[in-house]
Amino acid sequence: MNLGLDGKYALVTGGSHGIGRAIALTLADEGCNVAICARNKQRIDEVVGEIERKKVIGKGIMADATNPDDVTRVVNEITISWGRLHILINNVGGGGSWGSDDVEQTPENVWREVYDKNVMSAIRFTMSCLPLMRKEKWGRVVTVSSICGRETGGRAWYSVAKSAQISLMKNLSANHDLVRDGITFNSVAPGHIMIPDTGLDKKQKENPGEFSKFVSENFPLGRLGSPEEVASVVAFMCSDRASLLNGSSVVIDGGQSRFF
């Protein structure tokens, strides 16, 4: 299936690792020119190199997505060098293991910081990128939420923030002016995704027996998902083929969650 993404311009926040990196590389495979932003320069440079080896334009920008000035700078740099943007992937997020299991003992700043990282960053990037998409009369905004935003899984502050991301996309999807300018707003809700060198990978290495029991009991496929499996769905959602997909929250969890 030709996704029609050849020659489009995309920005993936947190595109230097994990799900964001996989989305950036998958969009590049489809012919998209891809900018990524993150904090660590070395990892940015490595992924920009991988993008450019796919014969598209890659761009790396060092930025902290929780800093409003950085968000403005990222979009300004794209405006100056490209003058156009079709796709925004709000991927920066996390904080699911911040605080403690004891909700009453977890200070308010944890709630605020997790909200800031997941929700305010998505709001700021989306608002800053919309003028570029409206100019193109075409746009795709996909926000990486989680199944924790759809059911009572994980720690409360993470669940609240992931729900708010879904709500943000749903609300914007009902805005006639934006949608009639060709822009769609959707979210994805991945289940547990195995990312090298992060929490789940470390848990597996620390106690392989217990981890394998956890996987066997909770994951119908008998394994966790991969970042590439999330990225393929996201690439489709960014395509012309997905023109009727607007306001959706697409679960990508191999059957892990229990809701209908």
Catalytically active residues are 158
- Of 26, 33, 146, 173, the residue at the interface with ligand NAP (CB under 6 A) is 146
**According to the binding rule CB under 6 A, does residue 19 interact with ligand NAP?**
yes
**According to the binding rule CB under 6 A, does residue 141 interact with ligand NAP?**
no
Phi, psi for 66 (deg, rounded to 5): -90, 0
Supply the minimum distance, in Å, between the C-beta of residue 51 and ligand NAP.
13
Name the one residue in this structure whose structure tokens are 């993404």. Answer: 5
Nearer to ligand NAP, 160 or 179 (CB): 160
Helix spans in the chain (H): 18-29, 41-52, 68-81, 108-115, 121-136, 156-173, 176-179, 199-206, 208-218, 227-237
**According to the binding rule CB under 6 A, does residue 192 interact with ligand NAP?**
yes
Using alpha carbons, list the distances in angstroms from residue 174 to 177, 186, 246: 9, 11, 8
- Of 195, 235, 238, 245, the residue at the interface with ligand NAP (CB under 6 A) is 195
The whole-angstrom separation of Cα 115 and Cα 96 is 11
Burial of 116 (0-12, 13-18, 19+ CB in 10 A): middle
The whole-angstrom separation of Cα 115 and Cα 93 is 9
Window of 105-113, 172-180, 189-197, 205-213 that interacts with ligand NAP by CB under 6 A:
189-197
- Of 5, 9, 11, 16, the residue at the interface with ligand NAP (CB under 6 A) is 16
Supply the minimum distance, in Å, between the C-beta of residue 106 and ligand NAP.
18
Cβ–Cβ < 8 Å for 159, 153: yes
Q: Quick one: how far is CA 146 from the chain centroid?
A: 10
**According to the binding rule CB under 6 A, does residue 66 interact with ligand NAP?**
yes
- Of 43, 54, 73, 134, the residue at the interface with ligand NAP (CB under 6 A) is 43
- Of 168, 193, 242, 250, the residue at the interface with ligand NAP (CB under 6 A) is 193
**According to the binding rule CB under 6 A, does residue 93 interact with ligand NAP?**
yes
- Of 106, 198, 204, 257, the residue at the interface with ligand NAP (CB under 6 A) is 198
**Category of 157 on φ-ψ map: left (φ > 0), alpha (ψ -120 to 50) or beta:** alpha
**According to the binding rule CB under 6 A, does residue 12 interact with ligand NAP?**
no
The whole-angstrom separation of Cα 68 and Cα 165 is 18
- Of 17, 86, 150, 155, the residue at the interface with ligand NAP (CB under 6 A) is 17
The whole-angstrom separation of Cα 86 and Cα 5 is 10
Supply the minimum distance, in Å, between the C-beta of residue 38 and ligand NAP.
3
Contacts to ligand NAP by CB under 6 A:
14, 16-20, 37-40, 43, 63-66, 91-94, 117, 144, 146, 190, 192-193, 195, 198
